[in-house]
Each structure stands twice: as structure tokens, then as C-alpha cells.
Amino acid sequence: MPPQPTPPDDACLLWRQLLWATFVGVAVLAVTCGHRFTIPSESGLSIAAWRVFQAFFPVAILVHLGRWKFSGHRWILAAMTLWWMWVLADLLIFHWIGIRLMSADAWTLFSTRVPSLVPYVTPGMMFRLASVIAAMFSIGWTCHRLTHFLARSFATQNPSKSIHAATYAWTLGVLATALPALATWSSTQRNMTSEPSRHAFGVIGWFDDHVVETQAKEPHVIPVPSFTTEDVALRTRGFRFNVVQETRPTAPDVLLVVVESLRPELIHPSVMPNVHAQATQGLWMSRHHSGGNASSLGLFSLVSGLDAIWFYVADVRFSPAMNRLFKQAGYELGFFAGADDWDAFQMEAFIHANAYNRFETEPRNGLASDRHAIDSAQTFLSRTDLPDDEQRSPRLAVLYLYATHAPFLIAPEHIRDLPSAGANYPLPFGPDSRNAIWNRYRNSARTLDAMIAPLLKDPNRLVAIVGDHGESFLEDGTIGHGTRLSAAQVRTPAILFGPQVAHRKLDFNTSHADLLPTLLSLTGIQVSDPDSFDGFDLSVDSLPPRVLAIADYLREQAILIPNEADLDPTFFGLQVGISLLKPHFQIIGTRSRQGDPRQFSHEELITHRQIARKYLDQTFPD
């Protein structure tokens, strides 16, 4: 039998590149479209064809580069492989936190924030990541061997199987898939905006919010109020020089309980019955907001009485008004927490041992850490450490609890909402897992409610209970917090009860900046300059309308929320770029409750300017 002719090496290489490009294109298409894939009702076939084009077009370019430079074929194959891996990684990250890997936000997150997040990585996360990587390598190795075999089979002298003809036909086929989408481009564009994670070009942010960005450019040409370095310095001096002028002879003890990632829905008799019972007897802020979408911003607003846009002004951050003013009023201060990660989140400026008379924190150790912090706070607030005939100074205790931070810690006796996910639930999770993880979150809140119940029984103690921020369970397309200025991530409960606190449910917008002025008022502490705070005293009967500023963790931005925001169900607030270090203010556009850009009419531009002017006028009054 005559020996078979050996195919030319260059033909084998070209065939292998073409076959590998086909595999990579299919893999990208499966990754971007296979996750709960549904064809849109409008122009479904054109959208599907557009997804095919996006998946294959980059590798089509690489195929032709490989034809021109045979010596670099290994680099061409590697580049195709990296395209597939990049799309997969971007999809996972975007699905989890709503950030593109190729973006300034991603650089900020990975360069400055990731080390602080390492302690929160669970075995479940690592297992899922390892499983994805193992699956990728397994599939890739199998197809690597298969393409090698097929390349040698196709690389023959038969003109009907010419590699050049096959390459041109394949490329033209890829280009042809774009035609239906281009013919109905407006529909394609809307689909890209609404479902950016389903499109391969999304990895570089193409088409994201394209329609809204076109409109959002218009507000930039409309003059808006501004402020100067002198305005910031004047506010800073007023804040630093604010002192106690008068105190009450018999002041109550104060307990401020800060609960990680607590959402308003959890203050319910079926979930947190002890806290709910107290909420119905005191001030219950039903439309409350954190200072921002992360712990550092929320805690800063609580201890300063300021909007968290002041967080980066060192003269303010290193001089927390709560500590200074309560000490001037004769209070002893204690801080107790089930964790010790202040430095990682830039909170060491206002949470450190020298700022408190008693400071007890420890590394996270499950529910045991929170229980120890609760016991320490109870001991600090009790009078058992003094003789019966000795009077002690009033005390303020800050209690920071972590049970409701992911992965949500639960005592076995409180697993009542079922199905409840296990501690190692996968991240990122999809809609199918959301209910079980939400139930785990509710069970965790139930556990925490039972643990703090003994602290809520003293009728002479003034108690405030708040969350440091909210938590997203896919309501805004993300998981967790710190990534979007959405209602899920910034809204949190706030209740205040104790002696001389009237029962009232506040149905207007409030924020963490209001807690300090309110606590000072209820404890009878009068300060020299109450206007130095951004927050208001919520214990008074009426308050003037105002605009809240909720700061963003990753960007020098904030969302401005007017008091009438809830009148429009599609409107959450006005997002702005703002910096106090180098005075800067710019309107970006309006946002929905999901944190998404929303379309607006030309008439609404006037309203946007009014919101901006009102906020800057109240922040930097003449």
C-alpha cells in the first residue's frame, strides 16, 4: 500500500487555527448566551445573529493574522484562548458586582480593595472558582487534541478542501451574521443596553448605557452651582470648632448598635421580633439611607453627622464629632465589635483604642465574636463595676455586629425560613439560588435579634439600631454591596427608642448623618453650632425638605436623593461626580432604584439642576 502524503506544515497550522477559532467562538457564545438564555421577543433572530458575530469576530481577525505570520501561530492560538477566558471572567465579575474588568472601577477595586476582602472569601467561593478553572482546562485540553487531529486530516492536497477557500468562507459567514442586527440597529442597541452580560463585546463596555449616555451629555452644558476650596475649609473649621455648651444633669446611657448589611425588610415580627417591638415604640425611620454603599462610609456618617462625601477630608475623618462631643459632655465611651478589620477599610481614623475609654475587638470567629462583643457592651453599660453608693458617668457604647454579613451566620435553632442555603453557598449565585440564600439571610437576622434582646430591656437606656449599609440579592443585578448606588445597597433600617423618645414613624428620607444630631438632642447635649452637621435632629416635630447625598465606595461620586423622590417610581436620585479635595461637581444623570441610568426628557434637565443647586446650597450656604 503506498504511503499517504504528508500534509504541508503551513496547511496544518492554518487548519488548526481555523478549527481552534471555531471552538473559541462557540465557547464564547455559550458563555455569554447560555446563562439562562432567552431570545428577546423583539427581533429575536437578529439579536441571536449579533451575538454570534460578537463571539466570532475577534477570533476571525486572529485567524487572518495567523495566516500572515506562521511563525507566531502559537501566540495566535494563545490570544484566541485568552479571548475566551477573558469573556468568562468578565461575565462572572459583572454578574457578581456589576463591574467590567476593563474599567477604571475594576482597577480601583483590585488595586486598593481586594486585600481587605480576602478574609471574607469562603470555601464555597474557592470551590466554585476551582471547579470553573478545572472545567475550562479540561474542555480546552480535549479540544486542543481534537483540533490537532482534525487539522492533519483536513490538510490534504485536495483542492476542494483548500484552507484559503475555507478561511474566506468562514470569515464571510461571520461577517454576514452582523447584517440582520445592523438592519434593525435600534432594537439591537436597546438589547445590548438591557442585557450587557449576554454580549461578548460587553467585556470592553461597548454599548453599555449607550442611549442614556447620549442624553446625559446635555446636563453638562447647563450651568450648575459650584463650590471652592474656601467653602470646604469654612465648613471644616465650623465642624472642628463645634463644642458642647450645655448638658442635662442626669443624662441617659446610650447604645448604638450597628448591624452589618441589614436591610429594612428584616425589621419584621417574623424575623426580628425583639427589634420590631421596640421600633413600634420609638422613632422608626422607614425611608432611611446609609452614608454610602460600604461600611466605611456608613460608619463615618454615623460618628460625624456628615454626608460621606467628607470621608476623604483628613481634618474631618480624624476628628469624629460623636467621640469629641460626648466626651465633652462627660460620657465614657466604649467600642465593641465582632471583628477588627478597620485598617483595611480606612476606618482606623475614627475607630481605634485611643478614641474610647474601653475598646474591645477581636478577629472574626463566627457567632462567638458577636456574642463576646454583646457581653462586653452589656458589662460596660451595667452598673455592677461600681459600688452601690457610687455614681458613675453616663456611658455611650458602640456595638458593631457581623452575623448578617455574608455568608450570614445562623444558630441552628433559628433556621426557620426554608429552604436555607448552606454556609458555602456559591458565589456568584443566580436567580435559582436567590430564594435559599435570602432565607439564610433572614435566619441570620433572627439569630442576631435573639442575641441582642437582653440589651434592649433597660427602660432608661437610649438605644439606636441601624445597618451600616444595605445588601443586594440580585435586585440591582449584583450581589453584596459597595458596587452600585442602588436602593438595595444604600437603604437600611434605623430605629431609636428610650426615655423621652416619642413613638413616630418617619415616612420621609433620612440618613445616617441624622443619627448624631438626634442622639445629642435626646441626651440633652446642646452644641455651639448645630448647623455644622449635615444631618438634622429627627426628634423635632417638623423638618425642612432637603436633599440627601449618598457616597459611592469605588468612585468620587454620589447620588442626590430629594425628599420627593418616591413620587416617581422610576426615579431614585441624581448621580453626580463630586470631590471635596479638588473641588469638582458634575451632573452625570438620573438613576433608577436598581442603580441603572434612566431616560429623561429635556424638561427634566431643569429639575436636575434644581436638585443639584438645592444640595450645594444646603451644604455650602452663603
Residue 548: which CATH number?
Answer: 3.40.720.10
DSSP letters for 226-273: ---HHHHHHHHHHHHT--EEE--SSPPEEEEEEETT--GGG-STTT-H
* Structure confidence by residue, pLDDT tens digits, 608-621: 888 999 999 999 98
* Structure confidence by residue, pLDDT tens digits, 23-36: 999 989 888 876 54
Share of the chain above pLDDT 90, in %: 47
Rounded Cα distance, 312 and 316, in Å: 8
Domain count, the chain: 2
Per-state percent for the chain, helix, strand, coil, to nearest 5: 50, 15, 35
Rounded Cα distance, 185 and 562, in Å: 36
Residue whose C-alpha cell reads 456611658 in the numeric block:
395
Residue 321 inside a domain? The answer is yes
DSSP-derived secondary structure letter, 597: B
* Same structural domain, 163 and 300: no
Residue 352 inside a domain? The answer is yes
Q: How confident is the model at residue 219 (pLDDT cuts 50, 70, 90)?
A: very low
Q: What is the pLDDT of residue 567?
A: 65
Q: Report whether pLDDT(375) > 50.
A: yes
DSSP letters for 147-159: HHHHHHHH-SS-G
Residue 213 inside a domain? The answer is no
* Same structural domain, 202 and 334: no
* Same structural domain, 244 and 96: no
Residue 396 CB partners (closer than 8 Å, separation 6+): 253, 254, 255, 256, 322, 326, 331, 332, 333, 334
* Same structural domain, 390 and 454: yes
Q: Report whether pLDDT(214) > 50.
A: no
* Same structural domain, 236 and 289: yes
Rounded Cα distance, 578 and 616, in Å: 11
* Same structural domain, 454 and 559: yes
* Same structural domain, 194 and 292: no
* Same structural domain, 526 and 380: yes
* Same structural domain, 176 and 308: no
Query: If you average pLDDT over residues 200-224, what whole number do you get?
Result: 55
Q: Report whether pLDDT(128) > 90.
A: no
Q: What is the pLDDT of residue 215?
A: 42
Rounded Cα distance, 471 and 486, in Å: 10
Rounded Cα distance, 579 and 292, in Å: 15
Q: Report whether pLDDT(148) > 50.
A: yes
Q: How confident is the model at residue 252 (pLDDT cuts 50, 70, 90)?
A: very high
Average pLDDT, the chain: 85
Residue 4 inside a domain? The answer is no
* Same structural domain, 20 and 118: yes
Q: How far is CA 345 from CA 212, 349, 621, in A?
A: 33, 10, 31
Query: If you average pLDDT over residues 572-588, what whole number do you get?
Result: 91
Which residues does residue 511 pair with via DSSP β-bridges, in sequence order? 289
Query: If you average pLDDT over residues 65-77, what whole number do you get?
Result: 74
- Maximum Cα–Cα distance for the chain, whole Å? 113
Residue 582 CB partners (closer than 8 Å, separation 6+): none
DSSP letters for 363-417: --BTHHHHHHHHHHHHHHHSSTTS-TT-----EEEEEEE-TTSTT----GGG--S
* Same structural domain, 353 and 477: yes
**Domain that includes residue 583, residue range:** 229-259+272-404+445-619
How many beta carbons lie within 10 A of that of residue 82, not counting itself? 11
* Structure confidence by residue, pLDDT tens digits, 449-492: 999 999 999 999 999 999 999 999 999 888 999 989 999 999 99
Q: What is the pLDDT of residue 520?
A: 97
How buried is residue 187: exposed, middle or buried, by Cβ count under 10 Å (0-12/13-18/19+)?
middle
> Are 369 and 402 in contact, with CB atoms under 8 Å apart?
yes
Residue 361 CB partners (closer than 8 Å, separation 6+): 335, 336, 337, 338, 339, 340, 373
Which residues does residue 465 pair with via DSSP β-bridges, in sequence order? 257, 495
How buried is residue 59: exposed, middle or buried, by Cβ count under 10 Å (0-12/13-18/19+)?
buried
Q: Report whether pLDDT(428) > 80.
A: no
Which residues does residue 68 pair with via DSSP β-bridges, in sequence order? none
Q: What is the pLDDT of residue 119?
A: 61
* Same structural domain, 282 and 204: no
Give the pTM.
0.85
Residue 439 inside a domain? The answer is no
Whose CA is closest to 562, among 494, 612, 505? 612
Residue 3 inside a domain? The answer is no
| Grid coordinates belonging to 371 | 456574642
Who has greater pLDDT, 191 or 489? 489
Rounded Cα distance, 556 and 51, in Å: 34
DSSP letters for 179-213: HHHHHTHHHHHHHHHH-GGGSGGGGGTTTTTHHHH
Residue 428 inside a domain? The answer is no
Residue 426 inside a domain? The answer is no
Amino acid in the structure at residue 442: R
The CA angle 191-197-200, to the nearest 5 degrees, is: 90
DSSP-derived secondary structure letter, 345: G
